[in-house]
């Protein structure tokens, strides 16, 4: 499942970005869901929140190291459980999707603009957000299970 999610996230991300680059001028907006979501074509040559503008290519190195670490951890058996594998697969796919843009274009194509939020994102960014949420939910579930186990052990002692 891990590799399928990585590939799916990367393909979806690159497909949306290609569509945006082919059909929208930079700065152009299309209303997707009135009052909630627009597609606004933006080229981000930096990092999240448009910080470090002009240094986008430097973020390829941490992305490659991060994905390499995830693959190594997975091979060593450190990423156990379906939720952990899914979460890390979303993180890896997102990192790869943005690294491809930085490698090919020196910048990342962003286009997802929520009216209630700040900034413009892309599918890779959203995949990273999903991965973080999955991993946090799994961690909370594990902590809660440990608490229940401890309570049962105390009650039985």
- Active-site residue identified among 110, 138, 146, 151: 110
Catalytic, 110? Answer yes
- Active-site residue identified among 25, 125, 138, 146: 125
Q: Kindly report the number of other CB atoms within 10 A of residue 130's CB atom.
A: 17
Q: Give CA angle at 109 (105, 111), nearest 5°.
A: 170
- Name which of 74, 93, 81 is nearest 5 in CA terms: 93
User: What CA–CA distance (Å, rounded) separates 120 from 152?
Assistant: 47
- Name which of 109, 103, 100 is nearest 24 in CA terms: 109
Residues carrying an active site annotation: 110, 125
């Amino acid at each position: 499942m891990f590799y399928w999610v990585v590939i799916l996230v990367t393909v979806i991300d690159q497909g949306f970005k290609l569509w945006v680059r082919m059909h929208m001028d930079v700065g152009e907006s299309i209303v997707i869901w009135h009052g909630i979501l627009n597609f606004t074509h933006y080229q981000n040559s930096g990092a999240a929140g448009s910080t470090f503008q002009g240094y986008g290519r430097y973020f390829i190195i941490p992305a490659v190291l991060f994905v390499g670490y995830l693959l190594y951890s997975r091979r060593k058996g450190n990423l156990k459980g379906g939720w952990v594998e899914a979460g890390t697969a979303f993180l890896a796919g997102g990192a790869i999707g943005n690294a491809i843009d930085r490698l090919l274009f020196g910048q990342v194509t962003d286009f997802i603009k929520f009216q209630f939020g700040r900034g413009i994102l892309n599918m890779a960014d959203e995949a990273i957000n999903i991965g973080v949420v999955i991993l946090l939910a799994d961690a909370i579930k594990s902590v809660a299970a440990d608490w229940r186990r401890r309570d049962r052990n105390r009650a039985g002692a």
